[in-house]
Amino acid sequence: MSKDSILIIGSNGQIGTELAESLRLIYGDDHVVCSDLKQPETIKGPFEIIDILDKDGVYSIIKKYSITQVYLLAALLSATAEKNPKFAWDLNMQGLFNILDAAKEGLIKKVYWPSSIAVFGPTTPSVLTPQYTIMEPNTIYGISKQAGERFCEYYFQKYNVDVRSIRYPGLIGYKSAPGGGTTDYAVHIYHEALKNGKYTSFLSEQTTLPMMYMPDALKATINLMEAPAEKVKIRSSYNVAGMSFNPLEIAESIKKHIPNFEIDFNPDFRQAIADSWPKSINDAEARQHWGWSPDYDLQSMTDDMILNLRKRMQ
């Protein structure tokens, strides 16, 4: 049994719900403490109410459970952040500082903090966007993620903090609902296809974005966290790619299961956010440094989503 004890902050969200399950399989229920602003409907292992902005509260939970690793997932995502930019900046940045400082002070040994493809902006080359390129994000979410990446690297270089990060694309899964992002349509579309046979997309038909199926995101996250430190050569955040598609293409993949499925389009404010992001990602460094490769493409993800959502709806 590993001696590590893990704290997930923001564990009720889209990633946290599934990450907690995966980490508990590896480390055991008692070694993975979940935490969020509110209690979830069902609690399987240790759970604590934590507000990431309450530094003393966070530190006391870290001490209570002798936590060695923190996965910091609490944040406002792109669409929600645009509605409350000042609060999004405060939450996304101060939350990160509280955990980086805990590591700097020797309270914890390892930190996971997710970045996003939102660090890229309209001036970034949008096809096969490389690890190192122009980064001029024009959303508050992207600005906070870019600043967060710089601070992760700074804390690694100055204070030897073992912080690891991935620039997730849009994530898609059947176990949990997305929490206010621009890529959320690619989750909603499956639910609406199965319930109503039709979906109105808030992004236009040709909006191609990088996406990833949740099992691949969990694999990337855990592989990066378990990689020997010398293999983690990038301490800002790693590009990782899964697949790229637009609303029309995901609809086509759904039609293989639901032939009468209909999609129409009514773009809203999220269109401008999506238009500022890459269409596809070059993840050569993640592949070379710690052996990343995805298992799912669009059709195999759709097959699995439909199969599992159908089971859940029975």
Q: Which residues of this chain interact with ligand AKB, rule CB under 6 A?
A: 77-78, 116-118, 141, 169-170, 181-183
To the query of whether residue 154 is one of the catalytic residues in this protein, the response is: no
Angle between helices 247-255 and 298-313 (to 10 degrees): 60
Q: CA 239: distance to chain centroid?
A: 12
Binding mask 7-36 for ligand NAD (x = CB under 6 A): --xx-xxxxx-------------------x
Binding mask 100-119 for ligand NAD (x = CB under 6 A): --------------x-x---
Which listed option, ligand NAD, ligand AKB, none, makes contact with residue 74 (CB within 5 to 8 Å by class)? ligand NAD
Which listed option, ligand AKB, ligand NAD, none, makes contact with residue 182 (CB within 5 to 8 Å by class)? ligand AKB
Cite the DSSP H helix spans in the chain.
Answer: 14-27, 55-64, 78-83, 85-104, 140-159, 185-196, 214-226, 247-255, 270-275, 284-290, 298-313
CB of 1 to ligand NAD, least distance (A): 27
β-strand pairing of 238-239 with 166-168? parallel
Positions 181 through 240 that interact with ligand NAD (CB under 6 A): 181, 183
Q: Which is nearer to ligand NAD, 97 or 255 (CB)?
A: 97
Which listed option, ligand NAD, ligand AKB, none, makes contact with residue 51 (CB within 5 to 8 Å by class)? ligand NAD
Which listed option, ligand NAD, ligand AKB, none, makes contact with residue 193 (CB within 5 to 8 Å by class)? none
Closest CA to 240 of 169, 299, 152, 183: 169
Cα gap 48→50, rounded to integer Å: 6
Residues counted in the chain: 314
Answer whether 265's CB lies under 8 Å from 200's CB.
yes
Query: 71, 112, 141, 213: which is the annotated catalytic residue?
Result: 141
Task: Tell me the CA end-to-end span of the chain in Å, nearest whole number.
Answer: 38
Given the rule CB under 6 A, which residues bind ligand NAD? 9-10, 12-16, 36-37, 50-53, 73-75, 77, 91, 114, 116, 168, 170-171, 178-181, 183
- The residues assigned a catalytic role are 141
